[in-house]
Amino acid sequence: MAEAIEPVYLPAILPGDLPDLAVATAHSGLALMLYGSPGIGKTALVQALGTERRLVAWASQRCGQALDTLGVVTLSAPELNVEDLLGVPTVEELVRRLPDGGDHAFKVTRWATPAALDPTRPFVLFIDEPNRCDPSVRNALFQLITGRTTSGGFSLPKGSVVCMAGNRLEDRAGVRSMDTAFSNRCAHFELKVDHEAWLDWAGSQKGFSPLVRAFLARHPGYLNHFDPQSPSPQQPTPRTWAGVGFALPCSPERLKGRMVQAAVGVEAAQLFQAFQAHAEVVPEASKLLENPEGVRLPSQGQLDQAWILGTALADHLTVSASVPLGERDPMGHAVGVVLGRLAREGFEEVAVFSLRRAWRSTEKHRHPSSGLPNLRFFSAVRTLSEMPSFQGFLEALSQEDAA
């Protein structure tokens, strides 16, 4: 009997898809609802939409103003009371003339608009974890999403966008099923981890541990190894690995192992500890420049060392260099020599990764108007091109790009 295949209810997207989908969803009039396991980066991605140029252009057109950015108003749904959305009630006296001609004073309730909701310019309204809030709060959210208004008289300005994010039911994160009327006002997507994009981000962060980046390049499956059935209070997720990456360079040597375990749990910490034992493979920059042919390479099968070395070499290539036209940068040349040696010694996958990582990083952060390539990177490529085995290396690189 064939095994039953569980139906896929939500379309899967990667972080790079979110800006385009936010624009499309804004045109649709629906709210965007993003699901994903804890720590995957949902909140950070939605909060970054305020600077997404395509979304800002759409909002500018809708509201008739030239906007540089969109403000992002974040409401954590589990922490909200109904008054946080409707406003605080105040009692006023209102005098009305009756049919008999007499005046009568009535007590009426008015609602003060919450200060977070600015009615004068469009913004991204980000509602975090609406599937973990009290039903009465969700009812108030329903009116804000459906009619773009509140009972207190607030209306979302034209050009505003409503986005939401929450965990999935299977994540055991205390979420409830949302009723069908609420869900029908949303476009629902499931966010998946983009390993390459996360490494791009980590490589651009000042003070981020290169060992963490090397480890996750070597073990991509551990970037998001979340298990809702695990008894461990902490698990490997993009959020916890980001914490490790920033914490390790500032942690005392004697406490580094405990810091990693506290963030990502026992299994990942033990694997990382075994990995970092090979950190001495990274040569000093001066020795790399002086004698790239003499840099000690990992022995056959020492993959952890190869990945650590490859990550360090890629980091060298992301630094811009200024050399006279026609000449090559000394560091770029040195890195090219070592990468070529790595490929010849059976670590072609690592060498390809290093070159691709350096290329992605330099292209991502190069200003479009400068038109200047990274001469250090191209110096490494020029050195590699002079090696007899470079053609095979190029083929491997192109296959990686196609994948």
Assign residue 125 the CATH number of its domain. Answer: 3.40.50.300
**Domain end: 247, 277, 307, which one?**
277
**Domain end: 191, 209, 241, which one?**
191
Residue 378, domain extent: 279-403
Closest among 160, 161, 166, 163 to 130, alpha carbons compared: 166
Domain count, the chain: 3
- Residues, the chain: 403
Is position 98 within any domain?
no
Same domain? 241 vs 306: no
How many whole angstroms separate alpha carbon 388 and alpha carbon 111? Answer: 77
How many whole angstroms separate alpha carbon 55 and alpha carbon 70? Answer: 8
Interior angle at CA 43, CA 50 and CA 188, nearest 5: 90
**Domain end: 173, 191, 209, which one?**
191
Element (H, E) at 263: helix 256-264
Same domain? 35 vs 158: yes
Write out the E strands in 66-218.
Answer: 71-76, 88-97, 103-112, 123-128, 161-166, 186-191
Same domain? 181 vs 47: yes
Element (H, E) at 400: helix 390-402
Joined tokens for residue 68: 């540089």
Interior angle at CA 352, CA 347 and CA 354, nearest 5: 95
Pair 132, 175: CB distance under 8 Å: yes
Pair 161, 49: CB distance under 8 Å: yes
Is position 3 within any domain?
no
Joined tokens for residue 192: 């998946």
pTM (2 d.p.): 0.75
Pair 311, 358: CB distance under 8 Å: no
315: number of Cβ within 10 Å: 19
Q: What is the pLDDT along the chain (403 residues), one digit of tens a residue?
A: 344 444 467 899 999 899 899 989 988 888 899 988 888 888 889 989 999 988 999 999 999 989 999 999 998 888 887 777 776 677 777 777 778 777 878 777 776 777 778 888 999 999 888 877 777 787 778 878 877 877 777 888 999 999 988 877 665 555 566 777 778 888 999 999 999 889 988 988 999 999 999 999 999 999 998 777 777 788 899 999 999 999 999 999 999 999 999 999 999 999 999 998 888 888 888 899 999 999 999 988 899 999 999 999 998 888 777 777 678 889 999 999 999 999 888 898 899 888 888 888 776 555 454 555 678 888 888 898 888 766 665 665 555 555 5
